[in-house]
């Protein structure tokens, strides 16, 4: 189950689009090489997170990952600096989802 992504072609193009859109609002020009470099960094980080979570879940035979477990993996990979901000974003998304559920049902 712990597979490495070997073909980034499709993912790379999508990430490049996302990164270009985000960087557009920074009022700084980024070279094409910088955008490609950031794309590779994002893909590697996601691969590391996926690999780490996959290893944990193979041991415990679980199939569903919770948000808190993703935060735990972020911490284990040394991203403690971002945990609070990511946790706040998680809370904001959960709040928005509850509002949508109330509207729908």
Q: How does pLDDT run across 73-83, given as a tens digit for each residue?
A: 888 888 888 88
Question: Given a cut of 70, is residue 102 above it in pLDDT?
Answer: yes
Rounded to an integer, what distance in angstroms lies between the CA atom of residue 57 and that of residue 29? Answer: 41
Q: What is the pLDDT of residues 20-60, one digit of tens each?
A: 888 888 888 889 899 889 888 888 888 888 888 888 777 76
- State residue 94's pLDDT score: 84
pLDDT at 65: 78
The first and second tokens of residue 25, run together, are 């609002």
Q: Please state the domain extents for the chain.
A: 1-65
Q: Which two tokens stand for residue 31?
A: 């070279």
**pLDDT at 64 > cutoff 50:** yes
Q: Give the pair of three-digit tokens for residue 93.
A: 């998304």
């Amino acid at each position: 189950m712990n597979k490495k992504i070997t073909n980034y072609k499709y993912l790379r193009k999508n990430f490049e689009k996302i990164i270009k859109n985000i960087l557009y609002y920074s009022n700084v020009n980024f070279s094409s090489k910088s955008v490609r470099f950031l794309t590779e960094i994002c893909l590697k980080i996601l691969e590391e997170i996926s690999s780490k979570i996959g290893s944990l879940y193979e041991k415990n035979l679980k199939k569903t990952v919770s948000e808190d477990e993703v935060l735990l993996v972020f911490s284990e990979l040394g991203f403690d600096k971002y945990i609070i901000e990511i946790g706040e974003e998680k809370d904001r998304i959960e709040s928005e989802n509850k509002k949508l559920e109330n509207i729908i049902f």
